Structure 1
C-alpha cells in the first residue's frame, strides 16, 4: 500500500512534450492526450477563427480542386461547433448547364449515399428506446421472418440488429439486385428474399467487421416490421426528420425533388442518372443538405441531455454515447461504431461516415471531444478525395483546438484557495506517505495541484471544501488505460479543525485513510 498514492498520481506529468496535434492520420501516440473542453461560447470561437482566417486554407484547397477543367459540379462545406454552424461555404455550380442557379449553399440538396446508414442506425435506437424493438441483441428473424441465409459456420446464433448496425453481421457487401447503380433495384421484396436464401454468410456473426450495404437494407426492412406502421422512408420522416427540424432532406426522387438538388456529374462532365435504391434504400437512398446533416451532428454532441423532442433531443444522452461507442477496433485504432467509421485525426478519434453514389460524394467527420464536426457534400465524382477531406478537417481541428485552448475560462476557485495548500501525511503499511498540495495557475486562474513524488494532478473545486482530481491541461506520458483506471474524477475532501484546514481524505482511492496537515 505504501506506493498506492504514487500509483494514483504518478501518471499526471507536468511536462508538455511537443505540439499535441503534430500526428497525422493513423499516427499512433503512446500517450493519453489532454484536450481543451468545448465550453467556449459559440460566438467567441467563431470570432476567434474568423479573425485567424482559419477557413482560408480549406477554401483554397476546394477552389483548386474545382479550378479549370478539373471537375464539374459543386461543393458545399459546413463546420459545426456544439449546437451551431460556425462556417459554411459553397463552390462551383449547382447546374453546369444553367449557371444562373449559382453556387450551392448549405440548404442545397445532394445525394448522400451511405450516410443514409446513419439515419437507419438512428432510427433503430429510437425504436429500441421507445420499446418497439426489444433489444439491439434481438435476432433480426424475430421480426423479419422472411429472411433466411446459408450459415456454413458451427453456430446456431442468428444475425442481430446490433451486428447489422456495426457491419458485424458477416453478410456480404452487395445486395443481390442486378444493375443496382445503373437502373436501380426493381426487384420485389419476395425476389430479394429468394435471392438471399441462396447466399451464405462470409464470417460468423459478431466475429469481425465486413462492410455491408446488404446488411443495412436488411436492417431497414426489419425496422419496418418493428415500427409496424409503414415503410422505412415514412419512419425516417416521422421519427427523425420531423422532430429534428430536418426540412430539406428526403428519399423520393420526383421531378419536384430533383429540381431542388445540385446535379451530379461524372469526371467526363456527363450528368449522373438518378436511380432508386429500391429494397436497398436504407443503405443509401437519401438526399440531404449541409444544414440538415449539421443537426445530426448537433444531436451527437448533446450526449448529456435527456430526451426532449420539443427541442430536437430525440435520443437520451446515454443512448447517444452508445451510438458512437466502438463496436470493433483494428490494431491501428481505426474501426467501426454504429455505423460510424473510426479513424485517428491528429490526437483524436474521429467519427466519420462517407457516401458515394452516381456523381455524388459526401462525408461527415466529427471530433466529439471538441464537439466539432465537418460536413462536405459534392456533386462531382471525386472532386475532393477522401484524403483531401481528411486533410481539410485535420487543419480545422487543429485550429479549433488552438482557439479553444486560448479561450478556456479560468477554473472556479474559492476565495480562500491558498488555505488548502500544505503537506498532508498518513501512515500506510508502516511508512509515511505524503501528499503536497500547492497553488498554481491554469488558463489564467488559480487552481490547486496535488503532488506525490513530484507528479502533479489538478484539483478542481466542486464546492465547499470538496475538490475533484482532474487531468485538464496536462499532457501525459502514460496510456489512457492507466490514467483512466479509476482515479480521474475521484473526490478529495478537506476537513477543518478549529476553523482551519486540518486534513484531507481520498475515499475513492485510499479508503479509510486520513492525511493530516503537517504543522
Structure 2
C-alpha cells in the first residue's frame, strides 16, 4: 500500500483537518492522529496536538485496545479455514477445563456466549496481568451473566478464551502466532504487544479542569488477546485494506466478508440504530453507510478503525486520552467526508462478454403467488431475484455449475434456486426453497402448491 498527498481535493483535505481539529478541542485530547485510505492507498494523513511543533505522524504508536479483538478473530478464522475447528464447535472440544466449555467458538467471536463483560476485580485494564495468571482468574466464580446464545453482551474474557484457544491449537504464544501469521505477512511491522519508540504516552484529562494525569500502561497478561496491542495509523491502514479485500496469505476475501457479516443478536436500541456485531468486527450504519471495523480503548488511549467497503474507503483515528472523544464516530465521519465530497465514479457499463441462452430465458418477471419479482443476470454469471418495486425479499445467487444457484444474502441466503422444466424442455416454474415462481400469477399450467381454482380469476359478484 502506498501513500499519496495528492489523492484528495484541497477542499476535502481542509474538511478532514477541521474535523480532527474540532475533535481534539472538544475531546480535550493531548493528541489525535488520523489517516484516510481510498482504494487501497493512503490519501490523507493528519494530526493535532497540544504540544507545539510535536505533532505525531503515521509511525507513532498508540495503544489500540479492543481493535486487538479483530486481530484475534483473524487467527481463529485461520484455524477454521485450515479445518482445525468449526465455528459451531463447543470450546471444550479444543480447550479443556475452562468451566465454560459448552459455549461455541462462534458465540465467543460474536459476544453472544453470555459471559461477563469484565474479569473479576481489580479493574484489569489498570492492573498487572500477573494478578490473573490463569483462565480461572479471568473468568471468576460466576462467569455467566446471560443464557448462552440469547443476546449480544460484550465480553473481554470471551476473547481471552479465544486467545487461549489459538495457543492450544498452535502450540505457541498468542503474540508469537499473531506476529508470524498476520503481522509479518501483512507488513505490520509497527504493531506489537509492547510499546516501541516512537510511541505516545497515555493521559487522563480531568473532567472539570484542563489538567492531566499519566495513565499506567500495564501488560495485560492473559487478557492480551482482548486489548494488548500498540499500532500506528500506517499499520492500521494496511489492516483496513486487508479487512476489506482479504489477502490469501492470511485470509481469503470470502472469510473476511464472513467476519463483516452481522452474526450476533442485537438489542432493540441496536436494531433502531443499525448496529450489529460480526465475527470480531463491529457494524454500524452511519449517514446511510454501513461502517465496519472496531473501536478500542484502554486507560490513556482511544482508537477507531472504520471501513466503508462499498465506497472503497477507510479511516483510522488514534488519541492519547482515556475518554471524552467518540473515536469510532470520528473515524466514520472522516469516511463520510470523503465519500460525500468526492463520491466514487462508477465504472462504465459494459455488456456481458457472453451469455448462456438457457439462463437468459429465465430473465424477467416472475410471480410468487401474486407478488411480482424480477430475475436479472449479473456480470459474474450469477443472478439476482428481487421485487419489481418497493421493499421485499431480495437476494443474490451464485451459479453452482449444475444449472442451479445458491443464495448469497437476504432471505434466501443458503437456499437453492432451480428452473423446473417440462418434458419438452420449456420452463414450467422456478423452485426456491419450496416456493414456486411462475410467469403468471398462480399460473394454472404450473405446479402451484394447493392447485389453482379451475374457474380462474373473477370479479366480486354484486
Structure 2 residue 302 is the aligned partner of structure 1 residue 350: no
Quote the offset at 1:290 in angstroms. 0.9
Give the whole-Å Cα distance in 2 for the aligned partners of 1:226 and 1:85: 36
> Which of 258, 281, 288 is residue 322 of structure 1 equivalent to?
258
- The 3 A distance-change label for structure 1 pair 457 and 81 is farther
Residues 25-424 of structure 1 mapped to structure 2, 5 A cutoff: 50-51=8-9, 53-67=11-25, 71-92=28-49, 96=51, 102-131=54-83, 133-149=84-100, 158-190=102-134, 192-193=135-136, 196=139, 198-228=141-171, 230-253=172-195, 257=196, 259-267=197-205, 268-303=211-246, 307=248, 309=249, 314-330=250-266, 331-332=271-272, 333-382=274-323, 384-386=325-327, 388-389=329-330, 392-393=333-334, 395-396=336-337, 398-399=339-340, 403-404=343-344, 407-413=345-351
- The 3 A distance-change label for structure 1 pair 509 and 365 is farther
Give the whole-Å Cα distance in 2 for the aligned partners of 1:435 and 1:277: 59
Output the aligned Cα RMSD: 4.0
Quote the offset at 1:204 in angstroms. 2.3
Give the whole-Å Cα distance in 1 for the aligned partners of 2:94 and 2:240: 30
Give the whole-Å Cα distance in 1 for the aligned partners of 2:265 and 2:5: 34
**8 A contact 2:202–2:301 mirrored in 1:** yes
Q: Secondary structure at the match of 1:163?
A: helix
- The 3 A distance-change label for structure 1 pair 476 and 195 is same
Give the whole-Å Cα distance in 1 for the aligned partners of 2:352 and 2:224: 57
Give the whole-Å Cα distance in 2 for the aligned partners of 1:477 and 1:88: 43
- The 3 A distance-change label for structure 1 pair 460 and 46 is farther
Q: Secondary structure at the match of 2:136?
A: helix
Quote the offset at 1:382 in angstroms. 3.7
Q: Deviations over 1:271-305 (max 9, x none)?
A: 222111121111011000111111221112225x6
Q: Secondary structure at the match of 2:60?
A: coil
TM-score by structure 2 length?
A: 0.73
Runs of 4+ in 1 over 6 A off after TM superposition: 454-462, 467-471, 507-510
**8 A contact 2:68–2:225 mirrored in 1:** yes
Quote the offset at 1:72 in angstroms. 4.4
Q: Which has the higher contact order (CA 8 A, sep 6+)?
A: 1
**8 A contact 2:60–2:199 mirrored in 1:** yes
**8 A contact 1:176–1:195 mirrored in 2:** yes
Give the whole-Å Cα distance in 2 for the aligned partners of 1:296 and 1:425: 44
- The 3 A distance-change label for structure 1 pair 293 and 355 is same
**8 A contact 2:303–2:327 mirrored in 1:** no
Q: Secondary structure at the match of 2:125?
A: helix
Give the unaligned 5+ runs of structure 1: 1-41, 150-156, 416-423, 427-433, 437-453, 490-506, 515-519
Q: Deviations over 1:31-78 (max 9, x none)?
A: xxxxxxxxxxx99x986x6236223222112213334x9724211111
1:441 — aligned with what? none
2:390 — aligned with what? 478
